[in-house]
Amino acid sequence: MLVALRVRMVAEGAPPSMLKHAGDRTAHDLIMAELTTCFPDDAVLSEEGVDLAERLRSTRTWIVDPLDGTREFGENPRSDWAVHIALVIDERPVAGAVALPAMGLTLSTYRPNSLTPPYVGPPRLIVSRSRPPVAAMIVAEAMGAQLIAMGSAGAKAMAVVLGHADIYAHSGGQYEWDSCAPVAVAAAAGLHVSRIDGSPLRYNQPDPYLPDLLICRPEMAAEALRALNG
């Protein structure tokens, strides 16, 4: 749907700002309609929706980013953008999916990916296209990592799941919808997931700001955490 929307709007000459807005709104409306129909008693926290306090009293809360990587979505034909949907119970994502529509992929906890074989060479660390966060640069220097620039938190995390990268370390600002589904999928695939101090990632909190995370191959977690907390 989002791929077709982008193709049509680009053909019509729509500017990137219009693409981003239309993608966000279209995906949000569709996901909300499906969740409301299938799970009418569940709460939802969506980047594009109103944050209702009732979600804090719900035993089941869906955390959604209808279009993660709006900048990349607006830059046709970039493929590093994603759709995130996760179910949180007791502060933990118990199910989740990350779709990479432009790549024709959906990764989920239903049929999780297997841990890929170790890469032979320096660790590959995923960073933002614009400005690598401090956490990433600390880990890169300590571990002699090779940097790979990419947009979208979901696309970055799935690059580690797919074995295209080894470490995704982020600091400096994210919200629960940016990481919840990627963390669920990464954990199900056998990867290490935590905050950069090593503590668990907790979701459906009163303040959805969740500024940092570490997703990496399990054998690299101890060294990365030492670098981040040394």
| Contact indicator for 86, 184 with CB cutoff of 8 Å | yes
Q: Which domains does the chain have, with CATH numbers?
A: 2-108 (3.30.540.10), 124-229 (3.40.190.80)
> What's the one-letter identity of residue 136?
A
Write the CB contacts of 99 (distance below 8 Å, at least 6 apart in sequence).
Answer: 82, 83, 105, 106
What per-residue confidence (pLDDT) applies to 132?
80
What per-residue confidence (pLDDT) applies to 129?
84
Question: Minimal CA–CA distance to 48: which of 19, 14, 79, 23?
Answer: 23
Token pair recorded at residue 227:
């670098």
Token pair 């719900």: residue: 58
What per-residue confidence (pLDDT) applies to 49?
96
* Sign for the pseudo-dihedral over CA of 54, 56, 57, 58: positive
Taking the chain (230 residues) in runs of 10, the rounded mean pLDDT of each run is 96 95 97 98 97 96 98 96 99 99 98 96 93 91 97 97 98 95 99 98 98 98 97
With 0-12 CB in 10 A as exposed, 13-18 as middle and 19+ as buried, what is 76?
Answer: middle
What per-residue confidence (pLDDT) applies to 130?
79
